[in-house]
Amino acid sequence: MNSSLKKVLIVGLGSIGMRHLKIIQKLFPKIKIIALRHQPCDKEEANSLGLYDCVDSIEKAIELKPDAAIIANPSTMRLELINILANSGVHLFIEKPISAFSEGVQELIDLCNHKGIVLMTGYNLRFLPSLVEFRKQLDSGKIGKILSFHAEVGQNLSKWRLNKNYKKTVSSQKTLGGGVLLELSHEIDYINWIFGKADWVKSHLSNQSDLEIDVEDSANIIFGFKRQKNYEIIGLLNMNFYQYDISRKCKAVGEKGTLLWDGVVGEIKFYGEKDKSWKTVFTSYPDRDFTYIEEIKNFFTSIEHNKNPHVSGNDGLKVLEVIDAIRQSNLQGNVVYL
């Protein structure tokens, strides 16, 4: 594939930064890739990774004049750095969540709009064929008027990071932006995308397991989406870091039936008002890199054609606004209106 981009900066070479590095090298081998990391990176290591250069400060990175940047460092450490890049005219792809806090994100969005910079948030589930089809079927009226939904996501943190001590990962540490709300915020993004932004939330956050972490390992949230005076969709979301069976599902219940999405196996099932069993209506199980490849392609295409990306900076901010409300509800023990 070809791209007019000449240099791309990757901030952070953890697991997700390395994934983006390999994808760009495979899809766009002519692009020169610069890495910015907090630890020194000698020439031998840079060469082994196929890097054009490796730097340890944002000032050195700016001097190399990257056209675009992939931000993959911890979410608590990125906003100041991102603003420096935006002020330098660098297009931005920011791994989810766009930040650990909503404060300052609107100003970043305004800056990017003023500078004509593409700002994309890395919610790669938006590119998953089975989730795209789930949204399409709900929009088509497959189950009629939607009455409620139940979403869940869970995976045991100690098994998730097999090659690392889970206690030292981003997911486990408050200072790095860990906890289920931020680390598993894909769910909140796709709920916004499919059902619209909630009008209110009621939540309970807790530490249910014996995992040695200083952030919540469990979140249970009720959402309310007002549609008409006497009609609102009620949604439930359960998130956790402790279950051993990997789960990512959403069941939407409507007047004409129920639609069930299973993101782990890439399958959608339907149970209609006249049916006596579940029927599989869609199956797609792409390889693990598929959604990451598609989002990078969308980011580069958005830059090339000066158009909005599939997942915008505004989408990233909407997720943080919902998370703010969830945290407030947990602290106050009551419903919080958005």
- Predicted local distance difference test score (pLDDT) of residue 297: 97
> What's the pLDDT score for residue 1?
67
C-beta separation of 34 from 64 below 8 A = yes
Q: What is the pLDDT of residue 230?
A: 85
pLDDT of res. 229: 81
Q: Residue 317: name the closest of 97, 161, 153, 145 by CA.
A: 97
Per the structure block, which two tokens stand in for 102?
Answer: 């909503």
In 72-190, DSSP assigns E strands to 91-95, 119-122, 146-154
What values do phi and psi take at 295, rounded to 5?
-70, -35
| Single-letter amino acid, residue 245 | D
Q: In whole angstroms, what separates CA 324 from the centre of its chain?
A: 16
Which token pair is 120? Answer: 């994309």
Predicted confidence at residue 285, as pLDDT, reads 87
Mean pLDDT in each 10-residue stretch from start to end of the chain (338 residues)?
88 94 96 91 88 95 97 95 97 97 97 98 98 98 97 93 78 92 97 96 96 95 92 97 96 97 97 94 91 97 96 98 98 97
Burial of 30 (0-12, 13-18, 19+ CB in 10 A): exposed
Q: Which contiguous run of DSSP H or E holds residue 33?
A: strand 32-36
pLDDT for 305 equals: 95
Q: Is the pTM of this model over 0.75?
A: yes
State the pLDDT at residue 2. Answer: 67
Q: How far apart are alpha carbons 287 and 15 in whole angstroms?
A: 17
**Residue-level pLDDT at 258:** 98
Q: What angle do CA 84, 89, 95 make, to 5 degrees?
A: 65
